[in-house]
Amino acid sequence: MRDVYEIETKRLKLRPLRMSDAQRVATFCNDPGVARMILRAPLPYLPVAAEGWIMTLKAREPLAEDFVYAVDLEGEGLIGVVGAHKSGNDQFEVGYWFGRPYWGQGFATETLQGFLGEAKSLGHLQAGHFVDNPASGRVLQKGGFAYTGETPSLFSLGRAASAPVKRMRYAGNEAMLAA
């Protein structure tokens, strides 16, 4: 995965984040409906926060611990983000988010399937979604994730509170067939 710089799907292009993406990241993440589904998105989410996040990701690239991509829709630019962050030895946490105008159009499923085509080579993949976001669970299941049965509570900056999260692990084709 370290040599992958762009991933193309039927409608989308996944590419490294650029500083020029900061304004759209901030605009989308400043929506409380988006921010409350992301662990580390503060409210308000200012452009300077997006710039700092992108700079941190760029600085960490040589560590090969974060693989984060902008999701571009032709004619629109960045509509969301997908990535995997190292969470332990040979373990990566997969996550994604999309701006509200792009919900419910199959972009998350398409993105995740394209991303996992490359990311599954990283090692053991895990993910999670807040209990009050079952749509994200369906997207993860379509991508090959299966529930582990764990539901820890995690603190969400966008909620300013802890909330239960359903944990999942990448099980590949077996989980996709069950979805």
Tens-digit pLDDT profile for residues 66-83: 899 999 999 999 999 999
Looking at residue 36, its pLDDT comes to 96
Name the one residue in this structure whose structure tokens are 């829709």: 73
Confidence tier at 29 by pLDDT (50, 70, 90): very high
Is domain 7-178 annotated with CATH 3.40.30.10? no
Domain extent listing, the chain? 7-178
Looking at residue 3, its pLDDT comes to 55
In sequence order, the 6+-apart residues with CB closer than 8 A to the CB of 8 are 14, 114
Q: Is the pLDDT of residue 177 over 70?
A: no
Q: 55: which 2 tokens?
A: 């700079």
| pLDDT (average), residues 165-174 | 88
Evaluate the CA torsion angle 56, 21, 133, 89 in order and state its sign. Answer: negative
| pLDDT (average), residues 86-112 | 96
Q: Is the pLDDT of residue 44 over 60?
A: yes
| pLDDT (average), residues 52-59 | 94
Q: Is the pLDDT of residue 118 over 80?
A: yes
Dump pLDDT digits (tens) for 128-155: 999 999 999 999 999 999 999 989 999 9
Looking at residue 1, its pLDDT comes to 56
Q: Is the pLDDT of residue 174 over 80?
A: no
**How far, CA to CA in Å, does 173 sit from each of 91, 103, 117, 176, 177?**
19, 25, 12, 5, 6
Backbone angles phi, psi at 104, to 5 degrees: 75, 15
Residue 147, strand partner residues: 168
Looking at residue 172, its pLDDT comes to 85
Confidence tier at 5 by pLDDT (50, 70, 90): confident
